[in-house]
Each structure stands twice: as structure tokens, then as C-alpha cells.
Amino acid sequence: MIKNDRPKIVVVSDTHELHSAVYIPDGDVFIHCGDASFFGAELEDEDQFKEFNEFAGQLPHEHKLFVPGNHDFFSMKGLQRIKKILTNFDTLIDSEIWIDEYSFFGSAIDYKTIISSVDVLISHEAPYGILDGGFGSKALLKSIHTFQPKYHLFGHAHSQYGICQNGKTIHVNASICDEKYKPKNGAVVIYL
Ligand SMILES: [Zn+2]
């Protein structure tokens, strides 16, 4: 259930184990666009994800969504492990969730699977040429042009924190850490 007249969405990305350093305002939905860790559940022990999950459990948001990033998993096995640990989140892996009448789609592996009429698209990577620092995905950009979500939330390009509009879509790069992996930026708040 969404409490606010206009759903208040609080977005972060690329916290790289420093999520506790970030002020997270209250809202209806908390979204993390990936890179909560440094080396994923395969190479590191799982404690970092357990700690991240506990941190999220303390947040007041009724809905919490997570889309894993390139630092969080290296195999399907790692991905499944994260999903199991993050009990306080809906971890979206090329899948959709509806919260009231709003659709959220987490695109993690195959950018072609994005469905039409999605309100909020979440990915870890940036689309090519948009707040991407020169290393965005062309496949993702193509899907966004096709499906035109209202919002696209992402991170990955640490130096490109910001918001911009391209066509009908408002793009948000919510990277918390800078290029030196220091927490520099604040959580982004948007209203649907
Ligand atoms: Zn990152």
C-alpha cells in the first residue's frame, strides 16, 4: 500500500558496503540499483549481504526493491544466493512487480526482456550516452527507446550522479559513491 498521494520513491545505487553512511529519507518505496557490495557473494563471505539486509530491515519503507549490479554477482549461483539472503527486499532479476497501480521492472541480465508500459525501470547499468560516463549499454538504450518508461533508475557510472530527461523518460543516476568509492552523493527522491 502506498501512503502518499503521489508515491514517494527513494533511490540509491553503488553504495559498495557504505550504505550506513547515507541518509535515507522516509518514503513509500526504497530502491537500490545495485553494487551494494565490492566482490559479490561468490568471492566474499555472505556477511556483507546479511548486514545490508538487516540495514534495509530497519528502514520504514513498506516496499524495498533491489536490482543486483556487476559487483554483486558473477554467476547465476551468486545471484540466487543474494536473492535468498535479501529477505527484506524484492530482488528483481528481469522481472516486474506491481505496487498498487504502479509497475516496477528490474532489468538485470537481458535488457530485451523489458516489458511495455512500465512506470519505473530499474537497472544497474546506464543507457548508452545518458549519464553513463562513456560506458553505458546500447542494448539498454534501445529497449528504453522502445518501451519509454516514465522513469529509469540506475547507477554504475559513479561520476555521473544526476537527473536528466530524454524523450518521455526521466533518467536518474543515483550513484552514492564517487570514482574513489567514497560515499559522496545523497539518496534521490522522486514522486511518481
Ligand atoms: Zn559501482
Domain boundaries, the chain: 8-191
How are beta strands 29-32 and 8-12 bridged, if at all? Answer: parallel
Tens digit of each residue's pLDDT (9 = 90 or more) over 109-158: 888 887 778 999 999 999 999 999 998 999 999 999 999 999 999 999 99
Tens digit of each residue's pLDDT (9 = 90 or more) over 157-173: 999 999 999 999 999 99
**Residues within 5 Å of ion ligand 1 by Cβ?**
14, 35
What's the distance, CA 12 to chain centroid?
A: 7
Contact status, residue 175 vs residue 185, Cβ threshold 8 Å: yes
What's the mean pLDDT in 69-84? Answer: 87
pTM confidence score: 0.95
State in Å: Cα 15 to ligand 1 middle: 7
Distance separating the N- and C-terminal Cα atoms of the chain: 14
Contact status, residue 114 vs residue 125, Cβ threshold 8 Å: no
State in Å: Cα 4 to ligand 1 middle: 31
- In words, the CATH class of domain 8-191 is alpha beta
The three-state (H, E, C) secondary structure of 7-19, written as one string: CEEEEEECCCCCH
Tens digit of each residue's pLDDT (9 = 90 or more) over 5-17: 889 999 999 999 9
Tens digit of each residue's pLDDT (9 = 90 or more) over 21-65: 999 999 999 999 999 998 776 666 788 899 999 999 999 999 999
